[in-house]
Amino acid sequence: MMDSFNPTWIGIAAAILTTAAFAPQAIQAWRTRSTKDVSLSMFLMMVSGILLWLIYGLLIGDLPLILANAVTLLLAGAILVAKIRFR
């Protein structure tokens, strides 16, 4: 059973969950035009970190890392833009 175990599946599951976690906040921020409870400094740091993970994934050629961080960057970036735009 362990011979067929591929740790990449854990990475894919983690990527799906952590990426999808941003979707409800992004949808709510754009729907309500309210981001008063969203921390600007947290999302500036988060988007910067996600961008660095994306660059790292590109440099090492890790497709799951690239895809997960590209989508996460779009979602977290949308929240950051909403935070700045709907002040």
Give me the tens of pLDDT residue by residue for the chain, a chain 87 residues long: 567 788 888 888 888 999 999 999 999 999 999 999 889 999 999 999 999 999 999 999 998 889 999 999 999 999 999 999 988
Residue type for 44, please?
Answer: L
Angle, alpha carbons 77-66-17 (nearest 5°): 70
8 A C-beta contact, residue 23 and residue 80: no
Task: Give the DSSP H or E segment for 30.
Answer: helix 23-32
What does pTM read for this prediction?
Answer: 0.83
Residue 76: per-residue pLDDT: 94
Residue 1: per-residue pLDDT: 55
Residue 51: per-residue pLDDT: 97
Separation of alpha carbons 57 and 13, rounded Å: 17
CATH code of 2-85, in short, is 1.20.1280.290
Separation of alpha carbons 78 and 55, rounded Å: 19
Q: Mapping DSSP to helix (H, G, I), strand (E, B) and coil, where does residue 39 land? A: coil
Residue 64: per-residue pLDDT: 84
